[in-house]
Structure 1
């Protein structure tokens, strides 16, 4: 058996210590683990402490609007095993609260803050949930699938007819916008 195969088998065996997880091997260097929300911190502790997945490269969020859930994906890398584990868990959209893993992976604070700002998920125990990109933003979290950016813009800005001379020249030569954006879209009220 090759060393890589031995490490893969060893990791699969270690992961069975967490109950109720589903493991899908994407390749020899990529593993997807689906885990219940209450078991995710234990999985991350196990990966970091016993399996050398010491680098949290990202936490991403997917809004499953029809399911009423957010999917949080924790991407952890092992320099020793040269492999990536993506741990997937789902939480209810409402109230949209989960536990911070800052105490396991310090960089989690940045990713949690970003997800809070863009999706509205609050991470209990995270050191800072304040805005850092959308500091002047007063709207709802803009990455949620139920956020209607066009409606928000229409409610907050006045449209002005923008028709400078240079654009008029382009239109006179046959260029420019053929159909206005508001004429292209289907009305959401239909």
Structure 2
């Protein structure tokens, strides 16, 4: 038995205990598992308790608005096998509610809180769903694909043309920063021609 096959062989022993698990090998030490949302907690318990995947490195979220789903990806690491397993599951975007896996992996509390804040997914049973990065944010979850960051900025901020003296001197000498109007990213709402001339 080659060392490179150890992670796959260890996984194959337990995967038969969870229904409908899709397996794809991404490299000798990297495996992707796809599982139904209701079967994910049991699979995580098996991976941690019997396969040696004791470290939850991250939980990431992918927004699939056309499919009406969020994809949650649980990245698990085995120090014993030097191997990574990424467990993928999908949940309905509306209502965007899933179960917390904090009782299995305590670091999940942080990742679930982050996903709640950025995508609006609520994790039932999580120890804390309060904001911690966007504490003063009153907009929609900013990582959802329908969120238009440029429109939101233009709606909530008045732009000022910031041109300090040193930049004006450079421009007078033919240098400086030049952005043609058709390449400007944000609107110049609130900036008048007299502001541009000062």
- Common topology (TM > 0.5): yes
Aligned partner of 2:141 in structure 1 is 141
Matched residues in 2 for 1:82 and 1:99: separation?
28
1:42 aligns with 2:56: no
Aligned partner of 1:188 in structure 2 is none
Q: Counterpart of 1:160 in 2: which secondary structure?
A: coil
Give 1:23 shift.
0.2
Aligned partner of 1:72 in structure 2 is 72
Cα-to-partner distance string for 1:85-133 (whole Å, 9 max, x where unaligned): 0000111111111100000001100000011111111100000000111
Alpha-carbon RMSD across the aligned residues, in angstroms, is: 1.7
CA contact (8 A) 2:116 2:129 kept: yes
Structure 1 alignment gaps of length 5 or more: 186-190
Matched residues in 2 for 1:163 and 1:108: separation?
45
Aligned partner of 1:175 in structure 2 is 176
Aligned partner of 2:87 in structure 1 is 87
Within-5 A mapping of 1:102-117: 102-117=102-117
TM-score (norm 1): 0.90
Give 1:181 shift.
6.7
Q: 1:144 to 1:9 in 2, by over 3 A?
A: same
Matched residues in 2 for 1:87 and 1:174: separation?
53
Q: 1:112 to 1:6 in 2, by over 3 A?
A: closer
Corresponding pairs, count: 185
User: Which deviates more, 156-165 or 43-52?
Assistant: 156-165
1:26 aligns with 2:26: yes
Matched residues in 1 for 2:21 and 2:58: separation?
20
Matched residues in 2 for 1:156 and 1:182: separation?
21
User: Which deviates more, 92-101 or 166-175?
Assistant: 166-175
Matched residues in 1 for 2:84 and 2:73: separation?
12
Q: Counterpart of 2:70 in 1: which secondary structure?
A: strand
Cα-to-partner distance string for 1:24-75 (whole Å, 9 max, x where unaligned): 0111210000111111101101101111111001001111122111110000
Aligned partner of 1:57 in structure 2 is 57
**Pair member with larger Rg:** 2
Q: 1:177 to 1:24 in 2, by over 3 A?
A: same
Q: 1:105 to 1:169 in 2, by over 3 A?
A: same
Give 1:7 shift.
4.9
Aligned partner of 1:150 in structure 2 is 150
- The runs of at least 4 aligned residues of structure 1 exceeding 4 Å deviation read 181-185
CA contact (8 A) 2:61 2:70 kept: yes
